[in-house]
C-alpha cells in the first residue's frame, strides 16, 4: 500500500510551494494552510515508515535517511511555528519527499534490527540532536547568503523574505544550543548502553561524534565569552555539521553500499 507515500510526497511539495511564495515574490503564504499541509505530510511519512518497516526501527542507510528527513521536517514545522523562516520549508520539505521516495521505490529491502529500549533512547536522542543541528546548519547557510548580500548591497527577493540577520543568527544559536545538549546526552547514553564498538563498527562514528561535539561546544563557548558571530560562527557551524554527517552516514555508506556489509 503506497497511498501514504504518494500522499506525503504531494503534501510536502504543496507545503513547499506555499512557503516559496514569500521567497519568490514577497507575497505572504497562507500560514494555516502551509502548517496543515506540512503537518499532514510529516504524519503521512511517519505512517509510511512505520508501515514499510513493520513498526520496527530500521537504521539501514536509505531507511535512516528517510527517518532523519522525517525528523528534520517535523522540527522544521515546529521552528516555523515559533519563528517563521519560509526558506527552511522550501529546502527541507522537497528533500524529505525525495528521500522518502528513494527509500520506498529504489532502496533494496532490509530487515529492521531488534533493539532494546536503552538503545532506542540513544537513537532517539541522536536523531533529535542531528535534526536540530541540521536546521541550524541550514540557517547558517542562509545567514552566509544574507551577509554576502549586505556586503554587496544587493538583496535578492528570496533573502528579503528572511527574518533580519540578527534574528536568523539568534535562532541558529538557540538551535545549536539545544542540539548540543541533546548530542551530549547522545554521547552519554552511548557510553552507558553501547558495547562492542569494534564489532558494531561504531569506533569511527563515536570519534567523529565527539569531534563534532567539541566543535559545537567551542562555538558556544566562544559565543558566550567572546561574542563570536558572523562568518566565523557560520564556518564552525557548517564544519561541525559536516563532521556529524560523516559520523552518522559515512560509515553506513561505506559499509552498506560499497562493502555490502551491515552495521
Confidence of residue 158 (pLDDT cuts 50, 70, 90): low
Task: Give the total number of structural domains in the chain.
Answer: 2
- The pTM for the full model equals 0.91
Do 36 and 143 lie in one domain? The reply is no
CA-CA distance, 160 to 66, in Å (whole number)? 31
Residue at a domain's end among 68, 93, 112? 112
Do 148 and 249 lie in one domain? The reply is yes
CA-CA distance, 86 to 30, in Å (whole number)? 11
For residue 106, pLDDT over 50 is answered with yes
- Grid coordinates representing 218 are 567551542
**What DSSP string runs through 133-163?**
HHHHHHHHHHHHHHHHHHHTT---HHHHTSP
For residue 157, pLDDT over 90 is answered with no
Do 235 and 119 lie in one domain? The reply is yes
For residue 162, pLDDT over 50 is answered with yes
- Grid coordinates representing 261 are 556489509
Do 95 and 121 lie in one domain? The reply is no
Amino acid 198: pLDDT: 45
> Which ranges of the chain would DSSP assign to H, the alpha helix?
3-25, 31-52, 61-82, 86-101, 117-151, 157-160, 165-193, 203-226, 230-245, 251-252
Do 138 and 94 lie in one domain? The reply is no
CA-CA distance, 207 to 46, in Å (whole number)? 30
Contact 139, 175 (CB under 8 A): yes
Amino acid at each position: 500500500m503506497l497511498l501514504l507515500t504518494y500522499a506525503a510526497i504531494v503534501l510536502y511539495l504543496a507545503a513547499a510551494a506555499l512557503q516559496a511564495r514569500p521567497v519568490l515574490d514577497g507575497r505572504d503564504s497562507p500560514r494555516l494552510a502551509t502548517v496543515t499541509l506540512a503537518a499532514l505530510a510529516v504524519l503521512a511519512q511517519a505512517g509510511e515508515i512505520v508501515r514499510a518497516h513493520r513498526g520496527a526501527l530500521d537504521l539501514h542507510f536509505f531507511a535512516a535517511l528517510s527517518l532523519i528527513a522525517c525528523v528534520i521536517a517535523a522540527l522544521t514545522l515546529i521552528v516555523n511555528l515559533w519563528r517563521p523562516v519560509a526558506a527552511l520549508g522550501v529546502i527541507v520539505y522537497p528533500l524529505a519527499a525525495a528521500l522518502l521516495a528513494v527509500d520506498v521505490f529504489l532502496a533494496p529491502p532490509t530487515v529492521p534490527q531488534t533493539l532494546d529500549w536503552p538503545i532506542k533512547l540513544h537513537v532517539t536522542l541522536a536523531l533529535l540532536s542531528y535534526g536540530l543541528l541540521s536546521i541550524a546548519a541550514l540557517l547558517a547557510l542562509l545567514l552566509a547568503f544574507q551577509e554576502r548580500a549586505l556586503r554587496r548591497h544587493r538583496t535578492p527577493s528570496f533573502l528579503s523574505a528572511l527574518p533580519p540577520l540578527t534574528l536568523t543568527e539568534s535562532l541558529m544559536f538557540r538551535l545549536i544550543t539545544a542540539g548540543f545538549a541533546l548530542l551530549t546526552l547522545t554521547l552519554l547514553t552511548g557510553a552507558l548502553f553501547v558495547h562492542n564498538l569494534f564489532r558494531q563498527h561504531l569506533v569511527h562514528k563515536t570519534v567523529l561524534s565527539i569531534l563534532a561535539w567539541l566543535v559545537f561546544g567551542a562555538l558556544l563557548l566562544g559565543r558566550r565569552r567572546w561574542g563570536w558571530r558572523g562568518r566565523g560562527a557560520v564556518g564552525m557551524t557548517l564544519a561541525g555539521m559536516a563532521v556529524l554527517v560523516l559520523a552518522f552516514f559515512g560509515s553506513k555508506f561505506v559499509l552498506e553500499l560499497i562493502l555490502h556489509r551491515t552495521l
